[in-house]
A and B are shown apart, each in its own frame.
Chain A
Amino acid sequence: MGSSGPFVRYENVQKSYDGETLVVKNLNLDIAKGEFVTMLGPSGSGKTTCLMMLAGFETATHGDIMLDGKPINNIPPHKRGIGMVFQNYALFPHMTVNENLAFPLSVRKMGKADTEEKVRRALDMVQMGQFGDRRPGQLSGGQQQRVALARALVFEPELVLMDEPLGALDKQLREHMQYEIKHIHESLGVTVVYVTHDQSEALTMSNRIAVFDDGIIQQLADPVTLYEKPENSFVAQFIGENNKLSGTVGAISKGVTTVDLGKHGSIKAAAVNVSKGDKTTVSLRPERIEFSSKKPAASKPSLPAKVLELIYLGDHIRCRLDVAGNDEFIVKVPNSSLSADLKPGVKGHVSWKTEDCRALDFVG
């Protein structure tokens, strides 16, 4: 047993379909046993390809994929013993739910009594015990999803892959299933590699998230770090909402720099992977910004702003402002702290803490 090393390891993995462009460019990723890792990214970012290479349906053009310390490049999918939940569930339509679940057990030549017991337990785990005799076509989307989950787990794999399993469900059901998958992961202790393009799904469930773009992992971190401390503009933009201001990096001391916003003045920001003289995009989270009609204390970084539009969203109010020439500047104002002087046309100031303002790589 390679218990000391990582459970899953991508080592310099590259993938090309046509020999001209790389879909996955030099992927290195270690996943520990029992971890829930999400591959997050827009479509075409290479995340599903990475999953398929792990499952064995695609071969890596270059590099090694290791499972439990052993390279698996030349092991066919049916010998890898990896569970997988497919995007459209791939429940066999000509079999009942029970038969679907018994399938992986019967190909492993398990006895009848054992099979029945395991199928029953797996179905109970996803609360589908009474649906064993139905065909997949007779189930709703959410029920099919549960059955697919049970089928991927019934033969007790140590690694389960999920390829956008909740994509076809409506919002409420999707959120409910997120918790359920998370709880199943916690109680069984299986390693899960999850692929999604939905950032809130990734934040809800994962231990760590690998943000993919253009065949590269842009950032690999736990949800909090990823949200609070994005390392580049793509991650800042892709995870959560984000306000952008363009400027030039000034002198850096102790990780803090002064960004010159040209005719709009200058602000202090945490310098992330930038050096003096670089063009930069400054990232500010909408919920970390305060708007007030009075000018805040000089120690607090701030910029003049003008309210353009208010959108009432129940728990908070989205407030669109014009700040430093950016008229798409969004501030989220909690419902409870809504003041009467916040109206379209009002001029005032937006302020934030220096560490919430991050100077990242420049995007046009």
Chain B
Amino acid sequence: MSSVDQNQTLMTQDGVPLKVSLKRSQRRSKMRAFMLVFPLLAFIFISFIVPIGSLFTRSVDDTLVNEVLPLTFEELKNWDGQDVPGEPMFAAMFMDLKNADKIQIGRVSTRMNYEKSGWKSLLKKTSRKMKNIDGPPYKEQMLKIHKRWGKVEFWQSLTAMKDPYTLGYYLNSVDLKYGYNKSIEQQPEKRQVYNLLWKRTLLVSLLVTVFCLLLGYPVAHLLATLPLSKSNLLMICVLIPFWTSLLVRIVSWMVMLQQEGVVNDTLVAFGLPEEWRLPMMYNFTGTLIVMTQILLPFMILPIYSVMKTIPPSYMRAAQNLGATPTLAFLRVYMPQTLPGIGAGSILVFIVAIGYYITPELVGGKDGRLIGNFIAFHMQNTLNWGLAAAMGVILLAGILILYWLYDKIVGIDNMKMG
């Protein structure tokens, strides 16, 4: 009888290696499985991976300027950056502008304006009057068109754009900017807005998460422990706002919270002096209250689903072993709900950090968050590079948070429902 040799490959009865045979037999089902997930895979790729990729490229892309003004940037390498450059640089700039069409110059001037405001009108005026220049020397004639050509700061700002990639948008989103030759410096005081915004966004997200946890945990506990008929009713109360249109909810909050709103009227009716009406709308407080209410179900549901799986016998056992109900709760029940708390908190935090519509409608001036500014740059200033950079920072922040969560709690422990 032949005994199977350890290092000999196993064969099927008709001599095909077992591994090959196994692969062959599984090929069909693997293909079928792949075909089934293919539509979703394609959808995710087109609608998720590609946009995120393009978001990322846009946030660092700086090729446009280099393509439109190639001669200028070539000449820039020979410049010492001290004084207004000489004739060759002006000649290069002139030739570049002459070769470019109007639309390109418009786009380039917008980009250059981010580095140094004033570029836009400078280029516009120059390109309009360029036909008056009929030959070298260019320096004097261009200086005649616009005296900014004689200011060294404008030439210096070009050095920030010399590479086909830039971190300028990222610097801008944290109140920094490029100085001469890509040295990093602070934005001037009056242009610093984003650091405050990031801090406010973080603060709002954290506070909303904490409030959601404080308000949602007892509700989840009730949901998990009440008899079925009552818990169903409570569940509906939790879910109905969840199913209601976001706008409807926000507008009802406006009715509730404004100066002449239900809450203030009630307080006044109970004796609050008229002039003490609380400002709860169009500010930080408004954003906080409304976001907490809107995001509450995201906290309640994961915690509830975890609590549902904890048999009451644990609490009983803990008390039987001598723990007071409070101690039993803290040491036995609560630790077991941590996966739910983690999932709920991370969910609420992630949704809150990129929230847009609520702060837009009820936030007023000091309740706006980073999301509102991303939209602002997308829609109003058309500075997509900056919007993309802020988006990428948000995404990175969330990924870091996720990573931390995995390190500390473990993603396997997360229960979404």
Hey, which bits of chain A sit against chain B, CB under 8 A? Answer: 55-57, 76-84, 86-88, 90, 92-94, 103-104, 107-108, 151, 155
User: Are B323 and A103 touching (Cβ within 8 A)?
Assistant: yes
Q: How far is the CA of A103 from the CA of B323 in the complex (A)?
A: 9
Partner of A87, one of B313, B327, B336: B313
Known contacts A55-B320, A84-B320: does B327 contact A107 (CB below 8 Å)? Answer: yes
Q: How far is the CA of A87 from the CA of B320 in the complex (A)?
A: 14
Q: How far is the CA of A107 from the CA of B324 in the complex (A)?
A: 9
Q: Which of B248-292 contact A (CB under 8 A)?
A: none
Q: Which of B321-380 contact A (CB under 8 A)?
A: 321-325, 327-328, 331-332, 335-336, 338
Q: How far is the CA of A90 from the CA of B320 in the complex (A)?
A: 11
User: Are B324 and A78 touching (Cβ within 8 A)?
Assistant: yes
Residues of chain B with a CB closer than 8 A to A77's CB:
316, 319-320
Q: Say if the beta carbon of B180 comes within 8 Å of chain A.
A: no
Partner of A107, one of B311, B314, B321, B338: B321
User: Are B317 and A108 touching (Cβ within 8 A)?
Assistant: no
User: Are A155 and B311 touching (Cβ within 8 A)?
Assistant: no
Partner of B316, one of A80, A83, A86, A108: A86
Partner of A155, one of B313, B318, B321, B332: B321
Q: How far is the CA of A57 from the CA of B328 in the complex (A)?
A: 14
Q: How far is the CA of A29 from the CA of B324 in the complex (A)?
A: 29
How far is the CB of A94 from the nearest CB of chain B, in Å?
A: 5
Residues of chain B with a CB closer than 8 A to A92's CB:
314, 317-318, 332, 336
Residues of chain B with a CB closer than 8 A to A57's CB:
316, 319
Which chain B residue shows the least CB distance to A161? B320
Partner of B319, one of A76, A83, A88, A155: A76
Q: How far is the CA of A97 from the CA of B338 in the complex (A)?
A: 20
User: Are B336 and A78 touching (Cβ within 8 A)?
Assistant: no
User: Are A90 and B314 touching (Cβ within 8 A)?
Assistant: yes
Residues of chain A with a CB closer than 8 A to B318's CB:
92, 103
User: Are B313 and A104 touching (Cβ within 8 A)?
Assistant: no
User: Are A94 and B320 touching (Cβ within 8 A)?
Assistant: no
Q: How far is the CA of A56 from the CA of B311 in the complex (A)?
A: 18
User: Are A78 and B319 touching (Cβ within 8 A)?
Assistant: yes
Residues of chain A with a CB closer than 8 A to B335's CB:
94
Q: How far is the CA of A151 from the CA of B331 in the complex (A)?
A: 16
Residues of chain A with a CB closer than 8 A to B311's CB:
88, 90
User: Are B320 and A88 touching (Cβ within 8 A)?
Assistant: no
Scoring A81, A104, A155 by chain B CB atoms within 10 A of each residue's CB, the highest score goes to: A104
Q: How far is the CA of A88 from the CA of B317 in the complex (A)?
A: 11
Scoring A83, A86, A90 by chain B CB atoms within 10 A of each residue's CB, the highest score goes to: A90
A-B contact pairs, 20 of them (CB 8 A): A55-B320, A56-B320, A57-B316, A78-B320, A78-B325, A79-B322, A82-B320, A84-B316, A84-B317, A86-B316, A90-B313, A90-B314, A90-B316, A92-B318, A92-B332, A94-B338, A103-B332, A104-B323, A107-B321, A151-B321
User: Are B323 and A107 touching (Cβ within 8 A)?
Assistant: yes
Which chain B residue shows the least CB distance to A82? B320
User: Are B323 and A78 touching (Cβ within 8 A)?
Assistant: yes
How far is the CB of B126 from the nearest CB of chain A, in Å?
A: 71
User: Are A88 and B313 touching (Cβ within 8 A)?
Assistant: yes
User: Are B336 and A104 touching (Cβ within 8 A)?
Assistant: no
